[in-house]
Structure 1
Amino acid sequence: MSAAPRMGIAMLRAALAFGLAAIVVALSWVWLGTPVNMPPSPLAAGEKLYCVSYAPFRGTQTPLDRTLLIPREQIEQDLARLAKVTDCVRTYATELGLAAVPEVAAKLGLKVLQGLWLGSDPVRNAAEIETVVKLANEHRDTIRGVVVGNEVLLRGEMSDVDLAATIRTVKAQVPVPVTYADVWEFWLRYRGLASAVDFITIHILPYWEDVPVSVDDAGRHINEIESKVAATFPGREILIGEAGWPSAGRMREGALPSPANQARLIHDLLALAKRDGYRVNVIEAFDQPWKRQLEGTVGGHWGLFDATSREAKFALGEPVSNRPFWLWQAIAGVVLVLWVGGIAHLVAHRHGKVVKVGWPAWAGLSLIAVSAGVFVPMAMEAAMLESLGWDGWLRNGALVLAAALAAPVAAAVLVEHRPLEGFGVVLDPAQRMVTDPWIKAPALLLIVVTVLAIQGVLGLVFDPRYKDFPFAALTAAVVPLAVLAFYGPRGPQLAGRAEFAAAAVLAFAAVYLPLNETIANWQALWTAGLWLLLAVTLWRVRGVRS
């Protein structure tokens, strides 16, 4: 067969392979971005939320900075926005400028559940008590109640005896009801506290339960706990002081943070609260970026409003998309497919020759292109959400860069019909004479991806509670390398101790992670599967040229 017909057949195969990949990528993003339908709004026309937790911190502002003073204008802007959706805000302290909240709230027609922060420092506690007593007496028509202490028993910073005495001291000086707020289990553990308060305030966060609850059961779980506490304290008024769901972050067993799941929990919770006649304070008004330092990505995404735009994440009763920018991500994904296809085409037609590529290789090229088109845009989105501090940006940036380069490099090497070589071709001084980029580049990528994967292993095995699962970037990085290892030729199998050791670590972690996170956590299962795939890839290339 002459060169022209061969070239025509090759171009037809390329068009079919990458055209199909582009269609798969586009349909994948349509599916990922399709809004999730919500139940009808549980609130009547004009009805607002009973109360919402409010903290004013934006950007780099943090209550951990004791020199910070929140501008009054910032509080005014926030409360003006919140007044459209709620009748009340709950605060947690008066320091750092928060003492201005009752006065601002009064002008906007809002009520306040005034927080009084207690900790292990008696001097700071005394100053907080003095300020709150003054505010409660000056704004008795605005302040619905005083919350004396928030989860101080959970943190172990006061005894129940000292706490009860403090509550009674405050109660004797203010003209409004007084309560204490803590995780619901602590009310059952320290039942004597009930005699010191006017009403009982419990926190129920299904995501953070010792046994996490999925969003499908979260509303029912909160309702059951409220009933359990009410039965324990018959005749006492119960306020759910914190209930909500995160919109981003890592899964905990079957509890998946997402915008749609956050909206779903709020819908279910408000409907049940209205049906059974109890009050709920939703946590929280605005996303709080500073919490990421303490609780990882998930800690900064409990708000009903976005931290940066200050816009609502969803409207009650309306569908919610987990990926509102899916169209742009789909376009980027299709462009990546075409980029991978273009690289493969150029390599296949270098020097005026047509490199023969069989159907198995075209299938591998299609898989490489799909992995890039779906998971590179997803990885970039995840990096924007999950990166914290220079080290976080460096780590996630390196992984996203490796993910973006893996597809075109793997496509070129697959077309060249070269093997995926081991670490030695880059690290062994004896291999310095090997300068072919189609040998060096994939081996270097393999090293980088392996190092980043093992760094993730160490975090998720030894300190996993607040660590995210990097499944998107790992998919885009590992799949092209695995395709090379399985479709490409294999070189001589020599020692390969480094590859074998890395594969052993990854394989062990791949078994451990689902056992630790449970099989309900699909993010953990996916990540473990990628670790195992990378381990097999390393096993297949171990020792080549080592």
Structure 2
Amino acid sequence: MPTPRSLTAPALLLAALVTILVWWFPNREQAADVPMLADRFNSVSFAPFREGQSPLRDIFPTAEQVEEDIALIAPRVRAIRSYASIEGQYETAAIAQRHGVKMWKGAWLGRDLRQNDREIAALIHAANTYPDTVERVVVGNEVLLRRDLPVAELARQIDRVKAAVRQPVTYADVWEFWAQFPELADHVDIITIHILPYWEDEPLGVDRSMEHAREVVRKIKAMFPGKPIAIGEIGWPSAGRWREGAIPSRVEQAVFMRRFIQLSREEGFDYNFIEAFDQVWKYRNEGTVGAEWGLWTADRKPKFELSGPVRENPWWYWYAGAALLSAGVMFALAMRAWPDAAAWKLALLSAALGNALAYAFCGGWPYAFDEHLKLAFAVNFAGQALLAALLLRRAGQRLSGDFVEPARNGAQASANIRSIFRGRFRWRDWRGFAFEDLFFLFVFTAALLQMMLLFDPRYRDFPFPTFAVPLVAVVARALLGDLPRRGGGWAEWLAGGVLLLCAVASAVNEGAHNIQALGWSACAIGLSLAPLLRVGPFARVR
């Protein structure tokens, strides 16, 4: 019969193999069998904003940066689509002309009528100054979707442009709005529709998206016979929350792109792919998914090769290495502090915590798009790292038979947190409360986030990385018999009850097709059990 010591080496080997497997498997090469039938796109949406730049704050790139961007994508695109005519200290059409790239030149229309007039004037000037480059003009983008202007005013602006330029004139909106306002077709030369299966009211996965695109174009053609049809936006995000069976991922984006190129050749589509570069600033309005539609990253790296295999995370081995390294360090420190503890159990716990921390970093830092999100990530990651150290300490104490600090309840944790903000905190007593209070703080935070996921879910990610270590803590404490079963009160009812009820309701709202949502709801329910086991019918009586 094996002794606890003899199990240490197998446990370490198993932990290392599982770590490599869980990082490699989702990031293995995929989509190699999906061919790419073209080496150039008909058109791509072009917004040259980089990290720290945003049209929302009127921080624009320099002319040199725009030149670099167009030079980068020129070998891969026939044309680019812009959305505004008043930009920074540059004229995109002039730069595109130098690189032999055509343009769908746009004017941004909103509720400010004076600014609209300035946009229209700039559009007309660019179209007439660069007639060989600007092949069509797009007067407004999703104006009806946003309800920024009435149809009559939009039609007036379109007619104004038609009278002043030689190029075909169009307006671009989600395809349903052309069906809702068919009278607008009399004012344009081209019907430009947006088909974004991910954002449909009934989201579609990549497998169903091609037939959906084909059907939409045929429906619009039947509605407006004799009018040319262009797809002004079509694409797929590479990261973000799932919407039913619509899965944002790098692999799914590559598959969508390749299959759509094949479809466009079969059907002869005039299309514009959204978009050239990830637009970090869009996260403010659309969450992570809004910032992840580019074929190139925000730092101008291609997300994948146009043909051949694709990896979801090409840098997975760095994270696997970081997980192994952090697990090794934690295990060595734990064995030094508690040499009489069951080493194989500490080895497995160290591996779980190492992977949790690597996952927390992998799923958090790349999506910290501005200084506020970076600060939030830093606070959360520091909290998870501290919780991991405290959990390992508590496990070492229990496994070696040392004294373990008594459990504290949520009311005590809440009072302690308030004392921190009031400057009345006594740091010398940290051993008695640090683990329990920090763990309860994570559970309480999860309850707040779960309420947001229930009542305002559209642009919110499921926060797996934010609670990676707390989830490990729940499982580890359950296996070690360390989950308290009494002593709770109103704070446990509040945090645990809200988290449980909102998680169940969220799972129902998201639907059975959203595996990501169901997975997070299961995790949230697991977190809720830690406080709920201490109250009501769940608690053990002394």
SS in 1 for 2:76: coil
**Which amino acid counterpart does residue 487 of structure 1 have in structure 2?**
L
Q: Which residue of 1 aligns with 2:142?
A: 151
Partner of residue 224, structure 1: 215
Q: Which residue of 2 aligns with 1:520?
A: 513
Equivalence for 2:265: 274
TM-score (norm 2): 0.90
Q: 1:15 aligns with which of 5, 9, 28?
A: 9
Tell me, in whole angstroms, the C-alpha distance in 1 between the residues paired with 2:450 and 2:90.
45
Distance (Å, rounded) in 1 between the aligned partners of 2:165 and 2:261 = 31
Match of 2:121 among 89, 107, 130: 130
Q: Which residue of 2 aligns with 1:55?
A: 47
Residue equivalent to 1:337: 327
Specify the SS of the correspondent of 2:258.
Answer: helix
Q: Distance in 1 between matches of 2:190 and 2:511?
A: 38
The answer on whether the counterparts of 2:408 and 2:433 sit within 8 Å (CA) in structure 1 is no
* Aligned counterparts of 2:383 and 2:6: Cα–Cα separation in 1: 30
Moved more, 96-105 or 57-66: 96-105
Q: 2:174 aligns with which of 166, 183, 201?
A: 183
> Secondary structure of the residue that 2:158 maps to in structure 1?
helix
Give the TM-score of the pair, scaled to structure 1.
0.89
Letter in 1 for 2:48: P
Distance 1:438 1:482, change over 3 A: farther
- TM-superposed CA distance for 1:343, in Å, is 3.8
Partner of 1:37: 31
Count of matched residue positions in the alignment of Structure 1 and Structure 2: 525
Over 3 Å counting, the alpha-carbon distance change for 1:526 and 1:150 in structure 2 is: same
CA distance in 1, matches of 2:434, 2:181: 62
Q: Deviations over 1:489-533 (max 9, x none)?
A: 566723433223211111101201111222222222122111111
Instruction: Give 1:95 shift.
Output: 0.9
1:3 is matched with none
Among candidates 522, 525, 528, match of residue 529 of structure 1:
522
Q: Retained in 2: the 8 A contact 1:243–1:283?
A: yes
Residue of structure 1 equivalent to 2:20: 26
Measure how far apart 1:316 and its partner are.
1.6
SS of structure 2 residue aligned to 1:450:
helix
* Matching residue of 2:419: none
Shift of the 459–386 alpha-carbon distance from structure 1 to 2, 3 Å rule, reads farther
RMSD of equivalent CA atoms = 2.8
Task: Say whether the 8 Å CA contact 2:483–2:530 is kept in structure 1.
Answer: no
| Partner amino acid, structure 2, of 1:464 | P
- 1:168-217 deviation line (CA, Å, top 9, x unaligned): 22111111111110000000111111111111100011111111111222
Which residue is equivalent to 2:384? 403
- Corresponding residue to 2:446 among 441, 446, 453: 453
Preserved CA contact (<8 Å) 1:243 1:282 = yes
1:246 maps to 237
Instruction: Give the Cα–Cα distance (whole angstroms) in 2 for the partners of residues 506 and 94 of structure 1.
Output: 47
The residue identity in structure 2 corresponding to 1:414 is A
State how far apart, in whole Å, the 2-side matches of 1:525 and 1:40 are: 29
Find the residue that maps to 1:193 and give its secondary structure. helix
Q: 1:214 aligns with which of 188, 205, 230?
A: 205
Residue matched to 2:57: 65
- Residue 390 of structure 1 deviates from its aligned partner by 4.9
SS state at 1:78 partner: helix
**Partner SS, residue 241 of structure 1:** strand
CA 1:120–1:33 in structure 2 vs 1: closer, same or farther (change >3 Å)?
same
Measure, in 1, the Cα distance between the counterparts of 2:130 and 2:426: 80
Q: Aligned in 2, Cα 1:372/1:226: closer, same or farther, shift over 3 Å?
A: farther
Shift in alpha-carbon separation, 1:214–1:297, aligned structure 2, 3 A: same
* Partner of residue 86 from structure 2, selected from 74, 95, 100: 95
Contact 2:31 2:309 (8 Å CA) reproduced? yes
- How has the CA–CA distance of structure 1 residues 163 and 39 changed in structure 2, closer, same or farther, with 3 Å as cutoff? farther
Partner amino acid, structure 1, of 2:308? E
Q: SS where residue 422 of structure 1 aligns?
A: coil
Alpha-carbon spacing, 1:162–1:436, altered in 2? closer, same or farther (3 Å)? closer
Q: Given the superposition, is the C-alpha separation of residues 434 and 280 from structure 1 closer, same or farther in structure 2, using an over 3 Å criterion?
A: closer
Matched, 1:381 2:362: yes
Cα distance, 1:73 vs. partner? 1.4
Deviation at 1:305, TM superposition (A): 0.9
**Secondary structure of the equivalent of 1:87?**
strand
Structure 2 match to 1:481: 474
Q: Please give the per-residue CA displacement for 1:1-58, whole angstroms capped at 9, x wherever unaligned.
A: xxxxx9x9443223332331221111111213212124454334xx411001101111
The answer to whether the Cα contact below 8 Å between 1:422 and 1:499 also exists between their aligned partners in 2 is no
* 1:296-324 CA distance string (max 9 Å, x none): 1111111111112x121112222111111
Equivalent AA in structure 1 for residue 374 of structure 2: W
Seen in structure 2, the aligned counterparts of structure 1 residues 250 and 73 have a Cα distance that, compared at 3 Å, is: same
Aligned residue in 1 for 2:421: none
- Distance in 1 of aligned mates of 2:414 and 2:15: 35
Distance in 2 separating the partners of 1:533 and 1:172:
64
Aligned to 1:498, the other structure's residue is in SS state: helix
Q: Distance in 1 between matches of 2:248 and 2:89?
A: 29
Q: Which runs of no fewer than 5 residues in structure 1 stay unpaired?
A: 1-5
Distance in 2, Cα, partners of 1:64 & 1:162: 24
Residue number in structure 1 paired with 2:305: 315
Establish whether residue 85 from structure 1 lines up as the match of residue 76 from structure 2.
yes
Give the Cα–Cα distance (whole angstroms) in 2 for the partners of residues 117 and 495 of structure 1: 57
Specify the alignment match of 1:422 in structure 2: 408
Which shifted more, 295-304 or 365-374? 365-374
Change (3 A) 1:483 1:102: same
Q: Take 1:221 and 1:127, find their aligned partners in 2: how far apart are those partners?
A: 38
Match of 2:318 in 1: 328
Does the aligned pair in 1 maintain the 2:34–2:255 contact within 8 Å? no
Distance change >3 Å, CA 366–CA 536, structure 1 → 2: farther
Counterpart position of 1:113: 104
